[in-house]
Amino acid sequence: MKGDREDDPTLFIQAVDELGRPVSEELLGAARRNWKRIAAYAQKQGQDEAVAAEALEATVHSLSSVNARHPRFNDKIKNLEQYVFVVAVHRLSRLTSKEASVEYVGSLDDVDSLRGPVDWVSQLEDAIALKEAVGYLDKTTRQLFMLRRSGYSWEEIGIIFDASSLNVRSLFSHGLARARRRILDIEGKSPTPEKGRAK
């Protein structure tokens, strides 16, 4: 294994979940091997290692709880390490969105001084539009989007989904098209279907 994917013993994760059930060593090992990647992702999102560790520990405990209720759950996961990473990234993204940083200013004059060459209003509008658009994506397309946003190549995503890079790109493209149709339907701007084609 590469150095950044080795088991990282410096990360502390409770070896029992919230209900006192022991967490499997296999799951703890997968979490430790993902620690540096999760910490790096958290840093890119403007979060510190404490938030990353919280997300990773919550992921481990959640997966352990699911495994306790459904003992064959782990058998269905083709790559536990990748699965732990994807779930932790999703959890971290949720934590990041809940803890959006707020900058306090002393007066209205201070607010004016925040304006600069960057149009922060447009950036905020773009971020809100992106968040809304992601809400229209189905589960698989959203997972593909999150992986691409996390810096994964199509080849790496293909490995996670046990498919070729061409197949996952096609899956993503079709998912975006479905989301576009949903958005247009909701806004009442859906183009009329072409003659001879089924809806």
pLDDT one-digit tens code per residue, 39-55: 888 888 888 888 888 88
Q: What is the 3-state secondary structure (H, E, C) of the chain?
A: CCHHHCCCCCCCCCCECCCCCECCHHHHHHHHHHHHHHHHHHHHCCCCHHHHHHHHHHHHHHHHHHHHHCCCHHHHCCCHHHHHHHHHHHHHHHHHHHCCCCCCCCCHHHHHHHCCCCCHHHHHHHHHHHHHHHHCCCHHHHHHHHHHHCCCCHHHHHHHCCCCHHHHHHHHHHHHHHHHHHHHHHCCCCCCCCCCCCC
Q: Is the pLDDT of residue 125 over 80?
A: no
The answer to whether the beta carbons of residues 146 and 89 sit under 8 Å apart is yes
Q: For residue 104, what pLDDT is reported?
A: 47
pLDDT band for 169, please (50, 70, 90 cuts).
Answer: very high
The arithmetic mean of pLDDT across residues 59-80, rounded, is 78
Q: For residue 170, what pLDDT is reported?
A: 92
Q: Which fold has domain 119-199?
A: Arc Repressor Mutant, subunit A (1.10.10)
Q: What residue type is 147 in one-letter code?
A: L
The arithmetic mean of pLDDT across residues 67-84, rounded, is 78
pLDDT tens digit string along 86-112?
A: 888 888 877 766 655 444 445 555 555
Instruction: Of 112, 118, 149, 124, give the one whose Cα is nearest residue 134.
Output: 149
Q: Is the pLDDT of residue 126 over 80?
A: no
Q: For residue 152, what pLDDT is reported?
A: 85
Q: pLDDT over 70 for what percent of the chain?
A: 72
Q: Is the pLDDT of residue 171 over 60?
A: yes
The rounded distance, in Å, linking the Cα atoms of 137 and 88 is 19
Q: Is the pLDDT of residue 118 over 80?
A: no
The rounded distance, in Å, linking the Cα atoms of 137 and 32 is 31
**Does the global pTM surpass 0.95?**
no
Q: For residue 151, what pLDDT is reported?
A: 83
Instruction: Specify the higher pLDDT residue, 179 or 190.
Output: 179
Q: Is the pLDDT of residue 128 over 70?
A: yes
The residue length of the chain stands at: 199
Q: How does the average pLDDT of the chain come out, rounded?
A: 75
pLDDT band for 195, please (50, 70, 90 cuts).
Answer: very low
Question: Where are the domains positioned within the chain?
Answer: 1-101, 119-199
The arithmetic mean of pLDDT across residues 22-26, rounded, is 85
Q: Is the pLDDT of residue 188 over 70?
A: no
Tell me which long-range contacts 145-150 makes (C-beta under 8 A, separation of at least 24): 145/172, 146/86, 146/89, 146/90, 146/93, 147/86, 148/172, 150/41, 150/89
